[in-house]
Structure 1
């Protein structure tokens, strides 16, 4: 065996030990989560939410319980809460909120929640959500919605509550990583989410938690940034970065995953377009993409011509034509007049086999696929 092959074998073995000696992180529900790092109640993220839930005609519920009472105790406050969603075009908006255990267990409140196609959990303090809803029908109804394939979105405090480990859940000190409320809603197991991450210089705070719970998968999501999580995979969207704490260090430049020794305080970041597998605990490279099956309805919806509407560089006109021929999907690219067979990955993501290229499709606020983002690893085109 050559020395270089031996080194690669040792590295692969170390990575495997690092990744699989830990408890798994996994979605405990089906459905889709839009998990946002804060300052995300704006047109872009609400439009993404609308596309995920189906359209602006869908029924949505806002849960503002993380907020202070003074901001949600009047009809005027409720109108202010609904306004960004109404401005996008949503018409069927309800608010579910209580601080009373009995009310959280009431059929009347849960009936409203269970009628939703999507739920938006606001920012504030995440311990208020844990105190009000952990162990109640509200928590179970949210899981039920996800298991029906529906959408739960959360920003800031609404993001942190989605994991089973609650970050910054102390009711008196928001800087504590583990406080008097330590358990989130548990939509994802062995998982901790911090937010406002780079904007508030929180990059090293996660190690306080990792010192106590080294087996957890931790992520930090910056402001104006989010992940869309589905089938144990997520994609980064927005303007900034998602920080990964998975006991490895990944370098795109070197195309290498470095296993870290115990108590090594390193992390890495992913920008928009990059994807990550929470069960395998590694970013999704071209060789990691798994072919998923698609049905006739998807083919019907995806066939057509699409324009990339954002992230264009150097004046490029990026357009693709999607066709279905002899049971295969083909994408024809305007920028090089090339036609490629593509495979379905997950959640309207397609890729070219044996290629660094991927196509992320987006749905507009009316629920129609209307644009795409062409993404390449290793310094290629991104959003």
Structure 2
């Protein structure tokens, strides 16, 4: 039986205990990268460290790269090719997790590798492929259980956007559509609750693209990530790492006439999402 997905864009269903974080996990960590090359930034090393180090169990999810080939046949991933870059980074126990079929993703056999995993990584591509495979399944539930037990989830590009509550660029017609009308592609996996996450904002001139999202869903925090740049999330706080800027679309702040409705953070900046303030 598929598990209902209970997150809502207007946050009508979002409830937390008084002492729990409102945005991130109480125990787990998130590494959210804006795509591009993160080499030389320390971001990938940080992800591995937060996952417990090279000896821990890492799961790689390549699903965003597509579930169907150009001819319509089922896309087949070569596990050795998917995990090879991670082995070169020194990981000892790394496994690929992929299916195009949500019925398979809802089986006990499919999720067994997730039950004792320490970290999960989502590759880039198109985020709606991840939704089609895993939303509402036992696999989706196990993703959240990993965070609940103190694990780490990371991802880049589409693997970043899927971590938000609202799914930016979820339209199957193309990534140029920021807000889809496809009802089944409007919701992310809400690892970072109350957020909408965009990526590649510096190289694809997407600085302003979250403005209509936050206008429609003013309770959300918009986070636009440059390439080679990440936020490292612990609870309600994050720290910026990498080469460029993060645009924070914050509807609670008053802006001057003619001013863009967002502000920029740089590497090393620390930010509290609950108070919407930089930390000193």
- What range describes the TM-score normalised by the shorter chain of this pair? 0.7 to 0.9
- 1:59 aligns with one of 42, 57, 61: 57
Coordinate RMSD, CA, aligned: 2.3
Q: What residue is the counterpart of 2:159 in the other structure?
A: 158
Determine helix, strand or coil for the equivalent of 1:205: coil
C-alpha displacement at 1:214, in angstroms?
Answer: 2.3
Determine helix, strand or coil for the equivalent of 1:66: helix
Instruction: After TM superposition, list the pairs within 5 Å mapping 1:183-262 onto structure 2.
Output: 183-247=187-251, 259-260=254-255
C-alpha displacement at 1:260, in angstroms?
Answer: 2.7
Taking the aligned partners of 1:42 and 1:80, their CA distance within structure 2 comes to 19
Residue 38 of structure 2 corresponds to residue 34 of structure 1: no
8 Å CA contact 1:46, 1:85 repeated in 2: no
Q: Aligned residue pairs: how many?
A: 252
Instruction: After TM superposition, list the pairs within 5 Å mapping 1:302-317 onto structure 2.
Output: none
8 Å CA contact 1:25, 1:191 repeated in 2: no
Residue 125 of structure 2 corresponds to residue 128 of structure 1: no
Taking the aligned partners of 1:164 and 1:126, their CA distance within structure 2 comes to 12
Residue 277 of structure 2 corresponds to residue 282 of structure 1: yes
Determine helix, strand or coil for the equivalent of 2:84: helix
Taking the aligned partners of 1:32 and 1:40, their CA distance within structure 2 comes to 21
Deviation per CA, 1:76-124, whole angstroms, max 9, x where unpaired?
A: xx32221211111112111111121211111111111122111110000
Q: What residue is the counterpart of 1:15 in the other structure?
A: none
Q: What residue is the counterpart of 2:117 in the other structure?
A: 116
- Counterparts in 2 of 1:131 and 1:262: CA distance versus 1, 3 Å: farther
Deviation per CA, 1:152-178, whole angstroms, max 9, x where unpaired?
A: 001110110111111001111211122
Q: What residue is the counterpart of 2:268 in the other structure?
A: 273
* Higher alpha-carbon Rg: 1
Taking the aligned partners of 1:34 and 1:52, their CA distance within structure 2 comes to 9
- Counterparts in 2 of 1:74 and 1:216: CA distance versus 1, 3 Å: closer
C-alpha displacement at 1:42, in angstroms?
Answer: 4.5
Gaps of at least 5 residues in structure 1 are 1-22, 249-257, 286-383
C-alpha displacement at 1:247, in angstroms?
Answer: 2.8
TM-score, normalising length: structure 1: 0.62
Taking the aligned partners of 2:80 and 2:47, their CA distance within structure 1 comes to 19
8 Å CA contact 2:38, 2:229 repeated in 1: no
C-alpha displacement at 1:40, in angstroms?
Answer: 4.4
Greater length-normalized contact order (CA 8 Å, ≥ 6 residues apart)? 2
Taking the aligned partners of 2:246 and 2:22, their CA distance within structure 1 comes to 17
Residue 111 of structure 2 corresponds to residue 105 of structure 1: no
Residue 80 of structure 2 corresponds to residue 83 of structure 1: no
C-alpha displacement at 1:261, in angstroms?
Answer: 7.1
Taking the aligned partners of 1:184 and 1:156, their CA distance within structure 2 comes to 13
C-alpha displacement at 1:225, in angstroms?
Answer: 0.6
Taking the aligned partners of 1:223 and 1:41, their CA distance within structure 2 comes to 8
Taking the aligned partners of 1:29 and 1:137, their CA distance within structure 2 comes to 21
Higher relative strand content: 1
